[in-house]
Amino acid sequence: MKPIVWIHGDALSPQNPALLRYPKAPALWVWDDSLLKDWQISLKRVVFIYECLLELPVTIRRGDPATELRRFAQAHGADCIATTDSPSPRFNQIADAIEADFNLEICDGPEFAAIEGYVDLKRFSRYWKTAQQSAFEPTTGGY
């Protein structure tokens, strides 16, 4: 198996489980123009994400994530795309799109917060109102 690693906004850490599993694999982050527009991501958030990316061994591209992941994987002769799980519906859409062409390995990471039901992921403050109580409970690891 020859993987690449897909880095997304729910695992922006050097302790990303997919990066740890495949430390020598090329990694890719894609600025998702559609998501940035639809979710009205603020410039502050974009800068925060970019600063996180500077700490990672990652190639940065812009466009449709599924298309860019396919191109990146093909350019590196990869047959697998490894990533870390995410609760985001957009993650599921992208994952479904790339699974048609590549094996997708989703690496589980430690759960940040135990939340059941709908969670508004468009704004961190809304998410945090739902997650903060369980997020401060002791965990068995983290990234």
**DSSP characters for the chain?**
--EEEEE-TT--STT-HHHHHSTTS-EEEEEEHHHHHHTT--HHHHHHHHHHHTTS--EEEEE-HHHHHHHHHHHTT-SEEEEE----HHHHHHHHHHHTTSEEEEE----S----S----SSHHHHHHHHHHHHTS--S---
Of the listed ranges 9-23, 66-80, 116-130, the one predicted with least confidence = 116-130
Mean pLDDT, rounded, for 5-27 = 95
Tens-place pLDDT, residues 46-79: 999 999 999 999 999 999 999 999 999 999 999 9
Checking if the pLDDT of 135 tops 90, the result is no
**Percent of the chain topping pLDDT 90:** 61
Angle at 59 between CA 58 and CA 61, to 5 degrees: 135
Opening angle at CA 87, ends 83 and 89, nearest 5? 95
The pLDDT of residue 141 is 53
Give the number of other Cβ atoms within 10 Å of residue 116's Cβ.
7
Residues 77-86 have pLDDT tens digits of 999 999 999 8
Q: Is the dihedral of CA 126, 135, 57, 4 positive or negative?
A: negative
The answer, yes or no, to whether residue 20 has pLDDT greater than 70, is yes
Among 44, 50, 67, 64, which residue's Cα sits nearest to residue 12?
A: 50
Q: For residue 119, what pLDDT is reported? A: 61
pTM over 0.95: no
